[in-house]
């Protein structure tokens, strides 16, 4: 399994577990399936819970201005976003 596939699989697991989607398995979520609206039917509260789960799982920090509909459109879009954040050097004060 590639790192990209592993990221997608982890995000699917987080969606099911952190949002308590009973009767749904991570495998039943398509990579390009819409997460909101006619897709899985997630809402803004679900998005906030998912952000917290992603930050903990991937040890990243997601700023509110980075969150938009496109980032959360699908698992594939969310995985690309997470991978981009993980590839960026950590921000913070320079070491003295």
**Residue 22 burial (10 A CB sphere; 0-12, 13-18, 19+):** exposed
CB distance 87 to 51 below 8 Å: no
Residue matched to tokens 């809402």: 43
Q: List per-residue pLDDT tens for the chain, 96 residues long.
A: 788 899 999 999 999 999 999 899 999 999 999 999 888 999 989 999 999 999 999 999 999 888 888 999 999 999 999 999 999 866 555 544
Set out the domains of the chain in order of their start, with CATH numbers: 3-87 (1.10.1200.10)
d(CA 23, CA 82): 26
């Amino acid at each position: 399994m590639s790192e990209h596939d592993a990221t997608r699989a982890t995000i699917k697991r987080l969606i099911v577990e952190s949002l308590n989607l009973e009767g749904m398995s991570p495998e039943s979520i398509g990579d390009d399936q819409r997460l909101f609206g006619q897709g899985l039917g997630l809402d803004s509260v679900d998005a906030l819970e998912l952000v917290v789960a992603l930050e903990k799982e991937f040890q990243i920090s997601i700023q509110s201005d980075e969150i938009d509909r496109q980032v959360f459109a699908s698992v594939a879009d969310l995985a690309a976003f997470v991978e981009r954040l993980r590839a960026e050097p950590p921000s913070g004060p320079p070491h003295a």
